[in-house]
Amino acid sequence: MTISQDKVVAIHYTVTNPNGDELDSSKGGEPLVFLFGHGSLIPGLEQALMGKASGDTFKADIPAAQAYGERHDALTQAVPKTMFEGMEVAAGMRFRAAGPEGQEQSVIVLEVTDDEVIVDGNHPLAGIDLSFDVEVIQVRDATETELEHGHVHGIDGQAEH
């Protein structure tokens, strides 16, 4: 069975940046299990998986635009430190904040000055080309319940939800 729309797919993966630094891996743990074609993965990896079958191994180089997108300088801004009243704010902290059109977005604190907090709304991997080493563990048909819910119910489709 090959990977296509509405198949449940289980993969092991290791992702690295252009310097070869490992950013994440499922090796030695549970595989990543997802419903294919439902936006669970970055677009470039989903395209690379299309048509693959259980047992396939491959490497995929995904440009930033097909991964977490390009960096947008407009998403980095200084906000008054008073917005964090009563909180000890430090570089590296993450917060949920209201975006420009009212939607919630995740921001990371880049710097704290006496008066301002510099935050970045870009995904931490935005602007970075990624390389994936992938092993397809399993491909199966989704159950009716998984399709109704829009997500998998475990590797075997039997988890309670």
30 lies in the same domain as 59: yes
13 lies in the same domain as 30: yes
Q: Is residue 51 part of a domain?
A: yes
110 lies in the same domain as 42: no
114 lies in the same domain as 95: yes
Question: Could you give the number of structural domains in the chain?
Answer: 2
55 lies in the same domain as 78: no
Q: Is residue 2 part of a domain?
A: no
Q: How far is CA 43 from CA 53, 64, 66, 92, 120, in A?
A: 18, 10, 5, 27, 23
51 lies in the same domain as 92: no
80 lies in the same domain as 112: yes
CATH of the domain at 86: 2.40.10.330
Task: Indicate the SS3 state at residue 38.
Answer: coil
Per-residue pLDDT of the chain (161 residues; tens, 9 = 90+): 999 999 999 999 999 999 999 999 999 999 999 999 999 999 999 999 999 999 999 999 999 999 999 999 999 999 999 988 888 999 999 988 776 666 778 899 999 999 999 999 999 999 999 999 999 999 999 999 999 988 888 888 776 54
d(CA 92, CA 74): 19
Contact (CB, 8 A) for 13 and 33:
no
Q: Is residue 159 part of a domain?
A: no
Q: Which of 69, 12, 11 is nearest to 35 (CA)?
A: 11
Task: Indicate the SS3 state at residue 46.
Answer: helix
d(CA 73, CA 91): 18
